Structure 1
Amino acid sequence: MDPPRPTSNTSQSSELSTFEFSSVESESEDPFMLLAKDVKQQPFTTNTSLQKSLERRQRELQQDQTRDQYLVFTSVPPEQSSRLSDDRSRTSKYCRFSFNAETGILIAKIMPNLPHELAIRSFDELISLELRAINARRDMIPCGSTTFTIGNWKKEADCCWAPATDARLSFVMEVGLSESARRLALNAHGWLETYSSSVKLVVTISIKRENPEIILSRWELVPRGYGVLTRLSPLSARRTASLKLSRTNNTTSVTGESYMNGITTTTTQLDLPFDKIVGRPPHKPQERDLVIPERELRIFAEDIWRQQSLL
């Protein structure tokens, strides 16, 4: 039996169809390059200097001296990027890298602390449990933070999955501090809109540091607005669902909206389209959209808040 679907109130709304940056920006330039321009850039000098910069930013994040997870370096040699993203590198344990070989730009996202790692691992487990529940586990390959080539970029997600049939990336998850919401959005646009990308679905998880609040957003490709003149694809990335996990008076609540085709529907669960993850429509008896129900979302949030000492 399928899990219960959300009760809903519908209204004409476009609240979730846009996000922190203008459509002009997203249509005129590579979103990953916009992300690089959003951060103060520093030239690459030596491997030692770069490593020290990454380690210093991690310490600053751990000590709450900054909320900025991103560093951008210019003129980085390709072999340096390969060394950094190698699983044997110490920086690979707390950094995710994006590298453009044509421009020599390296974007480093530094994971601040254990709660963020827990969010990645816990969400990965929730997806694995759902794939088992719908008898689709063998249809998918969990790729973790494997480096993939997307357009001119070599990029690591926080967690990602690919259909077993062709191993082309279909589903990506990115997590960050709430102060990085715009940059998480740029990452979602990049994964979905960059030419040659096979990604069809992105989930971003934004974690507040000072109080128990987490925002989960679902991003998909949808038709561009009527009358928009562009030489790019007729599809663009949009946030199609947003859920707020929060805690007040010792009670954890989940509130959210799903936005599709101009209709906003209230929801307390995260729905993930089967066809966009697995790469085909469901046709076996147990197959259906993946659903992370409200109860699991509450447990997910409370585990993170305990690590943050907010519970």
Structure 2
Amino acid sequence: MDFQSSPSEFSSVESESEDPLAQLAREAKQQPFTTKESLQKSLEHRQRALQQDQTWDQYLVFTSVPAAQHSRLSDDRSRTSKYSRLLYNTETRILIAKVMPNPAHELAIRSFDLLIFLELRAMNVHNDVLPFGSTTVTVGNWKKEADCCWAPASTNARPSFVMEVGLSESARRLALDARGWLETPSSSVKLVVTISIKPNTPEIVLHRWELVSRGYGILTRSSPLSACHTAFLKLSRTNDATIVTGESYMNGTNTATTQLNLSFDKVVGRPPHQPLEKDLRISEQELKSFAEKIWSAQSLL
């Protein structure tokens, strides 16, 4: 992938100056909130449609949602929270729901969470990073649920690293979600990984997103920052074999890669200072096993 000339869905996302989460809400079909029961029915209907391949649109947007209703819907005991992730703007009262279509997506979340834990444990820093799963986090005027997030133990539960999973057909909206985590004022997030899963083909695309100086130039104190994808990995099947291809952007250079590298200080919240401490590395073999678990859950293997 050429990071200087990204695919259109990312080029347009990265060039927008609008609040990325407001842009996400504007691009999805909106419907007015009436009752909690009606909203839940809409979400359940969308989940069934996703499961039956009647749509690939995971996002629903509701307007004029009272704050108390959002609190009830996002409660872990709510049935809505079992299959959807909610984003809520406390000023505009807009609620964005990302509906999870099937168990393969939950498996992707849990499997990636385990890979991160194993990397942290191997460096003996697993107690320095707290896994918060889909805990609701406040960023700017938004209350957001990540698919999975991690916070340095020293930051009082303020996440530094977030992961989002979605259908490949929702790649642009996942990109807006990543930008929302990174660019929204007061957000503590430094690093986002998005995972796009093809619904009917063994193909998964991972993007690493970070705040960088615009144009990937030399970073100065006055340089404007924007969220951009700084690594791309494609997991696919060819002749009954799993293939990993990708590129990473570092220090002004694009290099081919078959592993996912994640900055130690952006995950742990401090620079490495022990011999074992280094950037997290999800190896090519680990990525292959990760993909094959998901494809098996999708009945594609």
Offset at residue 201 of structure 1 (A):
0.2
For 1:139-154, list aligned pairs within 5 A.
139-154=128-143
Offset at residue 21 of structure 1 (A):
4.6
Is it true that 1:105 corresponds to 2:97 in the alignment? no
Q: Which of 38, 46, 50 is residue 49 of structure 1 equivalent to?
A: 38
* Residue type of the alignment partner of 1:259: Y
Q: Unaligned stretches of 5+ in structure 1?
A: 1-10
Distance in 2, matches of 1:135 and 1:238, equals 30
> 2:216–2:252: 8 Å Cα contact kept in structure 1?
no
SS of residue in 1 equivalent to 2:117: helix
Q: Give 2:266's aligned residue.
A: 276
Q: Deviations along 1:173-228, whole A, 9 cap, x unmatched?
A: 0000000000000001000000001100000000001110000100000012389x
> 2:84–2:98: 8 Å Cα contact kept in structure 1?
yes
Q: Which of 87, 92, 114 is residue 103 of structure 2 equivalent to?
A: 114
SS of residue in 2 equivalent to 1:87: coil
Offset at residue 15 of structure 1 (A):
3.9
Offset at residue 284 of structure 1 (A):
1.2
Q: Give 1:87's aligned residue.
A: 76
CA separation of 1:142 and 1:171: change in aligned 2, threshold 3 A:
same
For 1:1-311, list aligned pairs within 5 A.
14-16=4-6, 20-22=10-12, 26-27=16-17, 29-166=18-155, 167-225=157-215, 234-311=224-301
Offset at residue 234 of structure 1 (A):
1.5
Q: What percentage of aligned pairs have identical amino acids?
A: 71
Offset at residue 263 of structure 1 (A):
1.1
Distance in 2, matches of 1:309 and 1:144, equals 26
Distance in 2, matches of 1:24 and 1:96, equals 23
Q: TM-score, normalised by structure 1?
A: 0.91
* Residue type of the alignment partner of 1:202: V
Offset at residue 17 of structure 1 (A):
9.4
Distance in 1, matches of 2:280 and 2:241, equals 26
Distance in 2, matches of 1:127 and 1:14, equals 29
Offset at residue 12 of structure 1 (A):
8.5
Offset at residue 25 of structure 1 (A):
5.4
Q: Deviations along 1:92-144, whole A, 9 cap, x unmatched?
A: 00000000010010000000001000000000000000000111101100000
Q: TM-score, normalised by structure 2?
A: 0.94
SS of residue in 2 equivalent to 1:126: helix
Please give the root-mean-square deviation of Cα atoms over the aligned residues, in Å: 1.9
Structure ranking higher on relative contact order (CA contacts 8 Å, 6+ apart): 1
CA separation of 1:18 and 1:267: change in aligned 2, threshold 3 A:
farther
Q: Tell me the matched-pair count.
A: 296
Distance in 1, matches of 2:2 and 2:64, equals 48
